[in-house]
Amino acid sequence: MLVFLPLLMLSWGAHGGLPHPRPKCDRCDENFACDCSSSNLQEVPAVSTSVKSLDLSFNEIKTIGQDDLCDYSNLEVLILRSNVISSIAEQGFSTLNKLEVLDLSDNRLNDLSEMWFKRLSSLKHLNLLGNKYETFGKGSLLHSMVKLSTLIVGNPFLASVSEDSFIGPNHLQSFVFYGSGLKNYQPGSFSRINSIDEVTVSIDGPFQRDTALTTDILRDLSRPDTKIILSDLRISREQLMPFQVVFQKGVKSILLRNLSCSTDTIVSLLGMTQHSMLTSIGLEDCEFNGELTVSVEFPKLDFVNEIYVKNVKLAKFYIFPALHTITQLVQILTHLTRVAVIESNVFAMPHETTFLLYNLEYMDMSRNQLTDLTLREALCDGLRSACLPSITVFNISSNYIRSFQTLSHLFEGMKMLAALDLSLNVFHTMPEACAWPQSLRYLNLSSCQLRRVTACLPRTLHVLDLSYNDLTVFEHNMPNLTEVHLSGNRLKTLPEGRLFAHLEVLYIKGNPFISFSQNQISNYGSLRILEAGADTYVCSCEFVSFFKHELSHLVKLDRKQAYICSSPFALRGVEVTDAHLSVFECHASLAFSTLCAFVLVVVISAVVMCHKLHVVWYLQMTWAWIQAKRRPAARKDQVCYDAFVSYSERDVEWVEELLVPELEGAEPPFRLCLHKRDFLPGGWIADSIMAAMEKSHRTLFIVTEHFVQSDWCRFELEYSHFRLFDAAILIVLEPIPDSTIPKRFCKLRKIMNSRTYLEWPEEDSERPRFWQSLKDTLHMP
């Protein structure tokens, strides 16, 4: 043991002591998607083991250890881009067999290992761009990824591609390859991927340096069904050779992106397409120096029907010739069915050119410099049917069009027009009535600074976008509308549902809604999707309850967190789902009447209790007692009666006919105090009683059942007890059983039990003796 212990400690020490806790990340939502990006993490953090999507981008993670991810076997998306990862354990991803998306771009991986990806058989998207690896490692990296559909690889340091590198994936939708520093390419490597829908290659370096290498690469990628995107080229006329193989192999669609060359070069390139199968030509983010002149030789492009041009800058765009003046182009123009010239400073197009585009179905002129004037020219000033007779989609989003009237006039004759995008122009107003082609189904008027819409809106629409305008009402009967965008306006209520019988999708976020009701939602017969998040809801009880319980059964809602209360004040800024209103706020009248009823019941029971428990009587007694305590004892000379007679009103007969004559008629006469006769009128009776008792030597209590029942008599009795009990004389007129004396009348009970009292005899013969005893008692000092 003694030998062992230090050894154990040593080995522990070698491992750096206890494993230090991993940083935590709890930015996860209800779908187990955790966003831990930009958190200065130096290692993979601890998150919920149910995590499905984990974003760790923009941190400082250096390595992926064997156990870092082993708990997250449900992971489907793992984003590790823009860290400083330089090593990954061989088994680092081995438990992630549900992983579909893996992004390792912009790290510092010097080598790639096929061991990492061995278990990732569900992987669909893999991004390895921007690291430092020079090869794709030994063996075949992608071997197990049979489901892969997006592959993004390469970096400036990549030097060689070998034949096994791309064994595995069968069909890629998108393949992106960056190899500007490539020096070796084993021919046939890219052919290992059976089919590719779209490939983006960035190989400017080989283009500059090594025509054979470039040709090998392009030969393997060029197939009739693959769209080729060549990006980041800076080429001259002499470097165009490798393109030959592209056109020979029957590529139909080519796009040049971030190309920088002279107009001559591009014309030469087009010249090479002669007799190719090319149908679609695209240019994106390109810059051409030099000028295009009418004299250039254009090839015959028999199959080309699609031209896509975006963000193309011509050094001298203002002297660009009208296309119809280039005779070789006339033929091409008549073949075109799809043309997009986006963001390229187009400010005019002569109507002669437009006339040639009679097969055109799709036209996108968005983000250019067209104005009302030049658009009128371009669209042949509305010359019916001669102008773009086949057009179905027309996009002039983000130009300088101002007049709605002009537009409706220009498009009226296009009998096939189904979609018109006028967004991001500045209209402000709209005429009261317009004419549109009957075929129009889609109209985009987003961000057009419209303050009001009128019956000018085509009633045939299925989709209408009026988002980000200044509308305060939208009440137009549009029977066939299925989707309407009204976000970012100033609407204060939902539009009337019965006007839109077929509406299925309503986007109406960011309007100042007060609130909406079940009725309003039910009025939309077909509504399925509602997006109405805003931070201006009046959270009434009805609204909060409807929102929490019924709304999601009626429609599919956007993020519930987007619905925020603005009033009542206590709930300002609170999410509607978190709003809690008390019963008092929600059912004020009910709560108030309940409260009133409760108070009433309490009061009534209190009154009943008081009555039952003789509270009033007790209070009176207490009051009298307090008075008695405070009253100074009567002085001797104030005593002026021999006896105060306390009796019940019911026994007045006995008192007046027998007692009074007997005692006042005696020799010497007794002075009796009777409340009926001797009290001063007007005083408070309790006061008078107390005064009378104090002015009398004795108090005679005429005890009968009535006496017991009488409050005043009891009071007198009680009072005598406080004050001058010894002076009390009880005359019991009739036998009173103990049980008939009420409980609270305990004093009397006590007296009756403990003291002798005079009993009124039944027989007449006994009475003289009674009177004698009474008189004797009264005489006693």
CA distances from 675 to 577, 623, 644, 647, 716 (A): 77, 21, 8, 9, 11
Is residue 460 close enough to count as binding ligand NAG by CB under 6 A? yes
Which member of 88, 283, 424, 663 binds ligand NAG (CB under 6 A)? 424
Is residue 480 close enough to count as binding ligand NAG by CB under 6 A? yes
Bridge partners (DSSP) listed for residue 531: 507
**Rounded Cα gap, residues 651 and 662, in angstroms:** 16
User: What contacts 180, CB < 8 A, 6 or more positions away?
Assistant: 156, 202, 203, 204, 205, 206, 232
Q: Which of 305, 252, 301, 245 is nearest to 277 (CA)?
A: 252
**Rounded Cα gap, residues 527 and 502, in angstroms:** 8
Minimum CB distance to ligand NAG smaller for 53 or for 397: 397
Binding mask 161-200 for ligand NAG (x = CB under 6 A): ----------------------------------------
**Rounded Cα gap, residues 445 and 83, in angstroms:** 42
Stretch that binds ligand NAG, among 232-240, 330-338, 512-520, 604-612 (CB under 6 A): 232-240
Is residue 673 close enough to count as binding ligand NAG by CB under 6 A? no
Minimum CB distance to ligand NAG smaller for 204 or for 642: 204
Minimum CB distance to ligand NAG smaller for 164 or for 421: 421
Structural contact between residues 642 and 615, judged by C-beta atoms closer than 8 angstroms: no
CA distances from 107 to 87, 182, 295, 403 (A): 10, 19, 51, 52
Over the range 690-714, which residues count as b (16 or more CB within 10 Å of their CB) and which as e?
bbbbbbbbbbbbbbbbbbbebebbb
Give kind and range of the element (H or E) at residue 566.
strand 563-567
**Rounded Cα gap, residues 162 and 166, in angstroms:** 8
Stretch that binds ligand NAG, among 479-487, 491-499, 537-545, 721-729 (CB under 6 A): 479-487
Which member of 271, 479, 661, 669 binds ligand NAG (CB under 6 A)? 479
Q: How far is the CB of 57 from ligand NAG (least distance, A)?
A: 20
Minimum CB distance to ligand NAG smaller for 436 or for 513: 436
Q: How far is the CB of 201 from ligand NAG (least distance, A)?
A: 13
Minimum CB distance to ligand NAG smaller for 301 or for 505: 505
User: What contacts 316, CB < 8 A, 6 or more positions away?
Assistant: 291
CA distances from 628 to 624, 693, 722, 775 (A): 6, 11, 8, 29
Minimum CB distance to ligand NAG smaller for 487 or for 566: 487
The number of beta carbons lying within 10 Å of the beta carbon of residue 589 is 7
Binding mask 234-273 for ligand NAG (x = CB under 6 A): x-----------------------x---------------
Q: How far is the CB of 506 from ligand NAG (least distance, A)?
A: 12
**Rounded Cα gap, residues 597 and 608, in angstroms:** 16
Q: How far is the CB of 479 from ligand NAG (least distance, A)?
A: 5
Minimum CB distance to ligand NAG smaller for 455 or for 599: 455
**Rounded Cα gap, residues 137 and 763, in angstroms:** 138
Which member of 54, 148, 419, 691 binds ligand NAG (CB under 6 A)? 419
Whether the CA torsion 304, 306, 311, 313 is positive or negative: it is: positive
Q: How far is the CB of 411 from ligand NAG (least distance, A)?
A: 14
Q: Which of 508, 489, 509 is nearest to 497 (CA)?
A: 508
Q: How far is the CB of 477 from ligand NAG (least distance, A)?
A: 9
Minimum CB distance to ligand NAG smaller for 100 or for 421: 421
How many residues touch ligand NAG under the rule CB under 6 A: the total is: 24
Report how far apart the first and last C-alpha atoms of the chain are (Å, whole number).
110
Q: How far is the CB of 28 from ligand NAG (least distance, A)?
A: 30
Is residue 484 close enough to count as binding ligand NAG by CB under 6 A? no
Which member of 68, 106, 465, 531 binds ligand NAG (CB under 6 A)? 465
- Six token digits for residue 92: 């680092």
Q: How far is the CB of 206 from ligand NAG (least distance, A)?
A: 12
Minimum CB distance to ligand NAG smaller for 204 or for 531: 204
Stretch that binds ligand NAG, among 228-236, 344-352, 486-494, 585-593 (CB under 6 A): 228-236
Structural contact between residues 126 and 149, judged by C-beta atoms closer than 8 angstroms: no
**Rounded Cα gap, residues 467 and 469, in angstroms:** 6
Minimum CB distance to ligand NAG smaller for 151 or for 256: 256
**Rounded Cα gap, residues 467 and 74, in angstroms:** 39
Binding mask 202-221 for ligand NAG (x = CB under 6 A): --x-----------------
**Rounded Cα gap, residues 47 and 83, in angstroms:** 18
Minimum CB distance to ligand NAG smaller for 232 or for 716: 232
Q: How far is the CB of 459 from ligand NAG (least distance, A)?
A: 4
Is residue 485 close enough to count as binding ligand NAG by CB under 6 A? yes
Q: Which of 436, 380, 384 is nearest to 405 (CA)?
A: 436
Within positions 316 to 355, which residues make up the interface with ligand NAG, using CB under 6 A? Answer: 342
Within positions 356 to 415, which residues make up the interface with ligand NAG, using CB under 6 A? Answer: 364, 366-367, 395, 397
Is residue 531 close enough to count as binding ligand NAG by CB under 6 A? no
**Rounded Cα gap, residues 419 and 443, in angstroms:** 6
**Rounded Cα gap, residues 284 and 225, in angstroms:** 21
Structural contact between residues 59 and 83, judged by C-beta atoms closer than 8 angstroms: yes
Q: How far is the CB of 344 from ligand NAG (least distance, A)?
A: 11
87: helix, coil or strand? strand
Q: How far is the CB of 295 from ligand NAG (least distance, A)?
A: 29
Is residue 232 close enough to count as binding ligand NAG by CB under 6 A? yes
Q: How far is the CB of 465 from ligand NAG (least distance, A)?
A: 4
Minimum CB distance to ligand NAG smaller for 140 or for 397: 397
Minimum CB distance to ligand NAG smaller for 168 or for 206: 206
Chain residues in the site for ligand NAG (CB under 6 A): 204, 232-234, 258, 342, 364, 366-367, 395, 397, 419, 421, 423-424, 444, 446, 459-460, 463, 465, 479-480, 485
